[in-house]
Structure 1
Amino acid sequence: MTEFSKAVAGCIAEWGKRAAACNDSAECLEHSARQLRECLDAAFPDSKKVELESDKVNYMLSSIFFLANRLSKASQGLAEFDKVMSDIEKVGKASLEDGENRQLYIKFHKELDEILARYF
């Protein structure tokens, strides 16, 4: 008997613990994401071994894999965003919306675009 739901939940729970311990370290979060993908790979059977309607089974399993992978990538992006916001707070309460501090405004948007391109 298979227990995909338990295995997937276990993979995600372990990833969550590791990611929380990373303390916003991008390298640590990337390593945790790799471990999550490896765990999910081990949890899912080879599609050739599943004798059911393979398109539907593959769709279901790949959806879980995709969503878990997106969650881990999004957490990496969020950690990078935290760093950008932290840098802005260190400078002071400059108004980025009005563009009062033009250089900071441009730098913020450039970094935000890079984060979106890398992780989202």
Structure 2
Amino acid sequence: SPPSTKLEFDNDKISYIFSTIFFLSNRLNKALIGLAETDKAINNLVSEERSTIGGNDSDNQDRQEFQNILTNILSDYY
């Protein structure tokens, strides 16, 4: 009967909308966590650069460590 079919169709639309909202909010939450982790890694790199006097070896090591952290963040959250 047409009324029940329309009701089922409306229920499917509502379910789809809710699952889409849930999925997008999950993605947004992951992206925000990733952004916070990236910000923390940048702040750590900047503070280490400020506290280090000269020493190119430690600069390269810090940058490599930062690159590794950034790669992990990108693979985990994006």
Normalising to structure 1: TM-score of the pair?
Answer: 0.45
1:72 aligns with 2:33: no
Question: Could you list the per-position Cα deviations for residues 67-98 of structure 1 after superposition, in whole angstroms to 9, with x for gaps in the alignment?
Answer: 111111111111111110111111226xxxxx
1:104 aligns with 2:62: yes
Q: Which runs of 5+ in 1 are unaligned?
A: 1-49, 94-100
Identity of matched residues, %: 40
Of 14, 17, 20, which aligns to 1:60?
A: 17
Structure number with the higher helix fraction is 2
Of 85, 90, 105, which aligns to 2:47?
A: 90
Classify the secondary structure of the residue corresponding to 1:51: helix
Distance 1:62 1:88 in 2: 39
Classify the secondary structure of the residue corresponding to 2:41: helix
Distance 1:107 1:91 in 2: 11
* RMSD of aligned alpha carbons: 2.2
Classify the secondary structure of the residue corresponding to 2:9: coil
Q: Which runs of 5+ in 2 are unaligned?
A: 1-6, 51-58
| Stretches of 4+ aligned residues off by more than 6 angstroms | none
Normalising to structure 2: TM-score of the pair?
Answer: 0.66
The structure with higher relative contact order (CA 8 Å, sep 6+) is 2
Q: Number of paired residues?
A: 64
Q: Which has the larger radius of gyration?
A: 2
Shift of 1:65: 0.8
